[in-house]
Amino acid sequence: MKIGILGAGQLARMLALAGHPLGLETVCFTELAMVPAACCAKLVVGRFDDQSALQHFAQQVDVITFENENIDVNVVEFLSGYCPVYPTSAALALTQDRLLEKQLLQQLEIPVGRCCAIHSLAELEKNSAAFNHDAILKTRRFGYDGKGQWRIRSLDDLAKIKSADLQEPLILEEFIPFDEEVSMIAVRSLQGQIKFYPLTKNVHHQGILKISVAPANSPLENLARDYMARLLTHFNYVGVLAIEFFCKGEQLLANEIAPRVHNSGHWTQNGAVTSQFENHMRAMAQLPLGETTLLAKTAMFNCIGSEPLMTDVLQIPYTHYHHYGKEARALRKLAHINLTYQDDQQFERGYQQLIDLLA
């Protein structure tokens, strides 16, 4: 069976690697030939606005998925004419727009922080004041890793926002002074079977995920599963879905949805019975889903902008390295490291060694 993936970055690479043991071949549609997935997947190189290239791609695969939600929905709809695409364009379209996403969450009674659409400076000023000038202005579309975001801490910060920035659709979100950030990752099959991974605790730095630790051991685990199930069922979703939440007291506030395997689930490669990558591939191939149980407490560290010496990492016991094969560039995710737990003391020691190494 052949699985098509739109994109050929590190997520496609790790999906393709997880597919081979299941006899699933991966074909990636990509605009560039020098890509992380090239080592273990076939590539169809073409432009996303070239329908004949897309058709050529669709005709050689049995099902299509994507590794990035910033794809033109029209592309997904066009490809759906040739073979199934999971997740569907409905889920994709919705998660591409922060405002529509927040509105759906509200409709499904999943709590979110206060927010509103911004079309003008006057609207920004008025709503920023309503949030006590403690807010984040975000582009509604195509933001990732903190890009397209302006943190507002005072009235003065509004002056930094240029009128050109206000030309695109924006959303203003009140700043949430959260206790911690967690994410819930789950997978759903075409038949409606759902498997939840343990809730994961995340640490961000400058808008980019830096560390994830599973399990979060949070009393909010069941609440997060409940919210996740509502979303998966609403979309008739197939594949892996991630929701990032802010925890505040006994409340979970949904912050973002990602309709794909997610960075905060990379720990599952070494810490769960079945990784998120294998489970996404199983869902695509209509194979029974694998257990999402924890094998061992695991911390995932992103290597951002540069990579440490692999020898320095692997001499720390119980570490695993996951290299992406990308050229180093500032703020770029180049690899991640998983540290699997054996005992608490060893885990803490390894955790601190990795913090120091990656500082």
Under the rule (CB under 8 A), what is the footprint of its own copies? 13, 17, 20-23, 25, 39-40, 269-270, 273-274, 282, 286-288, 290-291, 293, 295-296, 310-311, 314-315, 317-323, 325, 340, 342
Give the DSSP per-residue string, 33-93: SS-GGGGTSEEEE--TT-HHHHHHHHTT-SEEEES-S-S-HHHHHHHTTTS-BSS-HHHHH
**Which CB sits closer to its own copies, 31 or 343?**
343
Are 158 and 135 a contacting pair, CB within 8 Å? no
> Which SS3 state, helix, strand or coil, does residue 271 take?
helix
Phi, psi of 216 (to 5 degrees): -70, -20
- To its own copies, the closest distance from the beta carbon of 230 in angstroms equals 26
| Of the candidates 240, 245, 192, 202, the residue with the CA atom closest to the CA atom of residue 222 | 245
**Which CB sits closer to its own copies, 245 or 267?**
267
Q: Where are the beta strands (DSSP E) in 219-270?
A: 239-248, 251-258
- To its own copies, the closest distance from the beta carbon of 109 in angstroms equals 32
**Which CB sits closer to its own copies, 105 or 337?**
337
Q: How far apart are CA 8 and CA 45, in angstroms?
A: 10
- To its own copies, the closest distance from the beta carbon of 269 in angstroms equals 8
**Which CB sits closer to its own copies, 220 or 316?**
316
* Residue position matching structure tokens 């990579």: 307
- To its own copies, the closest distance from the beta carbon of 293 in angstroms equals 7
3-class SS string, 120-141 = CHHHHHHHHHHCCCCEEEEECC
**Which CB sits closer to its own copies, 114 or 349?**
349
**Which CB sits closer to its own copies, 140 or 195?**
195
Question: Which two three-digit tokens encode residue 38?
Answer: 């090239």
- To its own copies, the closest distance from the beta carbon of 40 in angstroms equals 5
- To its own copies, the closest distance from the beta carbon of 36 in angstroms equals 9
